[in-house]
Structure formats: C-alpha cells, structure tokens
Amino acid sequence: MALTELNADNWEQEVMQSELPVLVDFWAPWCGPCKMVGPVIEVLAAENAGKLNVGKLNVDENKSIAIQYGVRGIPTLAFFRGGQEIKRIVGAQGKEQLQKVIDSVLGE
C-alpha cells in the first residue's frame, strides 16, 4: 500500500474515520531526520498493509493540523485509533524500533 498524502481535505476521512489504526508521519521537506525516516516509513507501510494505514502530513502545508495536535518537533510519528491519538514518537527511529511500536499498537 502506498503512503497517503494527508492534508486538511482528507484528514477527517483518512485518519479520524479510518477502520484501521493510522500512523501519521508529521514531516517537512527541509527536515534532515524526516528524510532519513521517510524510506523506513514506506517499507513499514508496505509490510503492515491491511493492518495499519500510513500517511504523511507536510507540516509546512498543513500548519493548522500540526498546531491542533501540538506537533512541535519533527519527525513526529503519531498513531491514531478511532479518531484518537494513542501513541506518539518524536525524532528519528530505526525500522526495528518502529516495528515494535507498531506491533504494540496493533496488539492493543
């Protein structure tokens, strides 16, 4: 499954109303650590397809959503279930660490 580019127009449908848990990658094009995490997120999205939806939200283009969720540092990875944020990771993480968090979110 490809990553969904999230924005104000599709946030409600893709994140708040999703049947599956959602991992949102809050990022910006100028952010070095975001560029390092991006390919890892893409691999995890493919490996967890059907169990977890994954989207990317450019904080420069969607400031209101970033502000609404109190995103102060990027990359921020936020997990949502049933329209509620259930977990958050700030900063770059490796694939193994992120998969462990995904597994714990899916197991809840």
Q: β-pairing, 53-58 with 76-81?
A: unpaired
* pLDDT (average), residues 54-67: 97
Angle at alpha carbon of residue 39, lines to 33 and 42, rounded to 5°: 125
Instruction: Show the domain range for 25.
Output: 4-107
Tokens (6 digits) for 22:
């959602």
pLDDT at 55 over 90: yes
Active site residue 34: yes
Report pTM: 0.95
Nearest alpha carbon to residue 43 among 25, 26, 60, 31: 25
Distance CA 26, CA 65 (A): 10
- List the catalytic residue out of 22, 34, 65, 105: 34
* pLDDT (average), residues 79-102: 96
* pLDDT (average), residues 46-74: 96
Domain count, the chain: 1
Q: What is the pLDDT of residues 74-86, one digit of tens each?
A: 999 999 999 999 9
- pLDDT in the model for residue 3: 87
Cα dist from 8 to 29, 103, 108, whole Å: 18, 28, 28
Give the confidence band of 108 by pLDDT, cuts at 50, 70, 90: low
CATH number where 67 lies: 3.40.30.10
Tokens (6 digits) for 105:
């979110």
Tokens (6 digits) for 89:
């990771």
Q: What is the pLDDT of residues 1-42, one digit of tens each?
A: 468 999 999 999 999 999 999 999 999 999 999 999 999 999
- List the catalytic residue out of 31, 57, 71, 78: 31
Active site residue 28: no
